[in-house]
Amino acid sequence: MKYKPVGNPDDPFYGYIFELDFREYFEKNNINYDEYDALDDNHHNWDSKLPFSKLRVSYKEGDVSMHPIRTMTAELVTWELLDKMVNHDKHTQEKFLRLWPFRSADTHLEWFKQSLNGGGGINFDMKGFSLHKHVDNRFIFGNIIINLEDNEDNTTFWNSNGQEMTYKASGEKGMGTLFINCEHTLHQIEVLFEERRVTYNLPMILNTF
């Protein structure tokens, strides 16, 4: 899996948004979303007429741990990867320390492991669904979005006053985005051009308990 920070070091959002590339893994492991029955009404309480998101984590064999997307993220999306990303260069390090200057651990990796929890689900955004420009609640450290099929409508990121779009996430199957929740990752999604948008979302939640 490849990654790169979005933008240039002098951009305010640099170090808070990363492009992820899972395409080689998708191809090597023949991950084709349509092979799975996530839209099977026998397994899910699904209404395709409703224009809002539905989270899905079930696999057709009944064991969510067997879902190939879950296997992929368990293998590739690790706290070690997050540690590598925030330590990508001195600028990404500075951006992380700006948000989290005080930590109860000696290293970033140790802090990630003791302070964050992760989980994921298949997300369906139907035509007409929208989330206006926002930051996530402060229990969310960050989020990962992976395209399970080619998507035309994708998350856009905006500057802190919401007046200028700074980045539009790729919609290509196997591509993804990781962003750290802050005022420089104001984001929005509107499903305008396709009947459904299918992604895998992995929020990173602060362990406050």
For residue 156, what is the domain's CATH number?
2.60.120.10
Per-residue confidence (pLDDT) for residue 108, from 0 to 100: 92
Q: Is residue 37 part of a domain?
A: no
Q: Can you give the pLDDT at residue 195? A: 84
In a domain, 8, yes or no: yes
Predicted confidence at residue 49, as pLDDT, reads: 40
| Structural domain harbouring 84 | 2-32+49-206
How many Å apart are CA 12 and CA 58, to the nearest integer?
A: 38
pLDDT of residue 102: 78
How many independent structural domains does the chain possess?
1
User: Taking a C-beta distance cutoff of 8 angstroms, is the pair 185, 179 a contact?
Assistant: yes
Supply the pTM of this predicted model. Answer: 0.85
The whole-number pLDDT of residue 199 equals: 86
Q: Considering the domain boundaries, does residue 13 fall inside one?
A: yes
* Within a domain: 43: no
Q: In the prediction, which pLDDT does 57 show?
A: 40
Measured CA to CA, the distance from residue 123 to residue 130 in angstroms comes to: 13
38 in a structural domain: no
pLDDT, residue 67, reads 63
Q: Which residue ranges of the chain lie beneath pLDDT 50?
A: 35-66
Domain presence at residue 21: yes
**What is the token pair recorded at 148?**
């399970």
| pLDDT value for 29 | 85
Buried b (16+ CB within 10 A) or exposed e, 22-56: bbeebeeeebebeebebbeeeeeeeeeeeeebbeb
Residue 42 lies in a domain: no
Confidence (pLDDT) at 126: 84
Does 39 reside within a domain? no
| CB neighbourhood size of 112 (10 A) | 21
Question: Any idea which residue has 């930590």 for tokens?
Answer: 103
